[in-house]
């Protein structure tokens, strides 16, 4: 897994905090809700194994990832 350098991760955090100060919590709630809506329009979750779910494209039926983050082969 690629890790961001400490400098880049600190810069990202600073940018996020600046955006929060400028736009407020409601801004993040709105963009999070939009992202969730788009995700669920594009993908569905299907149970796999005993304790995981696969993220599957609705249009093609192609599985693209596991919810748990396990590597997809």
Per-residue pLDDT of 28-71, as tens digits, reads 999 999 999 999 999 999 999 899 999 999 999 999 999 998 88
Domain count, the chain: 1
pLDDT reported for residue 1: 40
Q: How far apart are CA 38 and CA 44, in angstroms?
A: 11
- Structural domain range at position 15: 6-66
39 within a domain of the structure (yes/no): yes
Task: Return the bridge partners of 44, or none.
Answer: 56
73 within a domain of the structure (yes/no): no
1 within a domain of the structure (yes/no): no
36 within a domain of the structure (yes/no): yes
pLDDT reported for residue 6: 83
């Amino acid at each position: 897994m690629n890790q961001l350098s400490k400098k880049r991760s600190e810069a990202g955090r600073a940018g996020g905090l600046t955006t929060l100060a400028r736009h407020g919590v409601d801004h993040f709630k709105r963009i999070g809700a939009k992202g969730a809506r788009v995700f669920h329009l594009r993908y569905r979750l299907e149970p796999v194994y005993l304790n995981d779910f696969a993220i599957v494209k609705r249009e093609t039926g192609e599985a693209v990832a596991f919810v748990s983050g396990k590597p997809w082969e």
